[in-house]
């Protein structure tokens, strides 16, 4: 068999939900659509899985006994940029925003159509493939100056000095688009479409808030990631 004949491995998804019926249904549905699926009934079991295996995407329920999904997501984000889709039984905007602020890349309110979940999962994985990790051995190159930080477009990496700054998949996708069109004001809707978050422009506001905390000394008076009234957001290097 030649390299061109090799089949890419199926994406491995971890479903974290204390509802065994829903976890089983999601497992069967995703498996039937080409995914390898593991399940965990709570945050503790999820941590055990994460310590033993690598996953391409996590689906995490917000409301679980013991440690909730928000806390688990924050913990995962300290060490990993794996895409996270959060499930919530709550339909309120504030609850969905809390999930995004915790580090989730997308959210889906229960009850949901499994076909929509499949679209969200594929969208997050596609976004991840389009933003490859830079080689660990590569030497730092030039980039876009943002005060004490530099965004290297070639390596898709934000650095402070020579130290890389951790970004989630969504944050990196947003920063890349803004950097490629620096100086141009882009609307939430345009940014959502360009970063693979179609239909979810509110998520852009959350990603912008998180990015400002990482690149601006005072996120309340941003110097580099600015709001242009009536137009959207603009990245201004300097």
Q: Is 58 exposed, middle or buried (0-12, 13-18, 19+ CB in 10 A)?
A: buried
CATH topology of domain 144-235: Arc Repressor Mutant, subunit A (1.10.10)
How far is 69 from 60, CA to CA, in rounded Å? 6
Q: What is the pLDDT of residue 92?
A: 60
> Which residues of the chain are in CATH 1.10.10.10 domains?
144-235
| 12 strand-pairing partners | 36
How far is 90 from 173, CA to CA, in rounded Å? 27
Q: What is the pLDDT of residue 200?
A: 65
Predicted TM-score (pTM) of the model is: 0.64
Q: What is the pLDDT of residue 193?
A: 82
Given a cut of 80, whether residue 7 has pLDDT beyond it is: no
Q: Which two tokens stand for residue 125?
A: 């994985």
Q: Which residues of 25-56 are buried (b: 16+ CB within 10 A; e: fewer)?
A: ebbeebeeeebbbbbbbbbeebbeebeeeebb
Mention every residue, 6+ apart, whose C-beta is less than 8 A from residue 70.
62, 98, 99, 102
Convert the pLDDT of each residue in 89-135 to its tens digit: 765 666 677 777 888 888 888 888 999 999 989 988 887 776 544 44
Convert the pLDDT of each residue in 151-166 to its tens digit: 988 888 888 888 888 8
- Dmax (CA) of the chain: 58
Do the Cβ atoms of 191 and 174 come closer than 8 Å? Answer: yes
Q: What is the pLDDT of residue 93?
A: 60
> Which residues of the chain are in CATH 3.40.50.2300 domains?
10-129
Q: Name the nearest CA neighbour of 94 among 206, 208, 227, 169.
A: 206
Q: Which two tokens stand for residue 84?
A: 């996270």
DSSP for residue 150: E
How far is 123 from 126, CA to CA, in rounded Å? 5
CATH topology of domain 10-129: Rossmann fold (3.40.50)
Q: Which residues of 138-156 are buried (b: 16+ CB within 10 A; e: fewer)?
A: eeeeebbebeebbbbeebb
């Amino acid at each position: 068999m030649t390299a061109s004949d090799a089949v890419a491995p199926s994406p491995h998804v971890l479903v974290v939900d204390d509802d065994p019926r829903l976890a089983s249904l999601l497992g069967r549905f995703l498996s039937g659509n080409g995914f390898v699926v593991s399940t965990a009934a709570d945050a503790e079991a999820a941590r055990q899985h994460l310590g033993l295996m690598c996953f391409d995407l996590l689906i995490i329920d917000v409301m679980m006994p013991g440690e909730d999904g928000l806390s688990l997501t924050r913990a995962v984000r300290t060490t990993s940029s794996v895409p996270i889709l959060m499930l919530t039984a709550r339909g309120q905007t504030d609850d969905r925003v809390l999930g995004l602020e915790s580090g989730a890349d997308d959210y889906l309110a229960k009850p949901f159509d499994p076909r929509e979940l499949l679209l969200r999962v594929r969208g997050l994985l596609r976004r991840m493939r389009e933003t490859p990790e830079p080689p660990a051995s590569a030497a730092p190159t030039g980039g876009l100056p943002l005060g004490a930080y530099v965004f290297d477009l070639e390596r898709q990496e934000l650095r402070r000095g020579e130290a890389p700054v951790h970004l989630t998949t969504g944050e990196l996708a947003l920063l890349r688009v803004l950097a490629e069109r620096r100086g141009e004001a882009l609307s939430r809707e345009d940014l959502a479409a360009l970063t693979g978050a179609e239909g979810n422009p509110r998520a852009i506001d959350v990603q912008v808030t998180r990015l400002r905390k990482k690149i601006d000394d005072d996120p309340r008076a941003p110097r580099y990631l600015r709001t242009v009234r009536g137009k959207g957001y603009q990245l201004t290097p300097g």
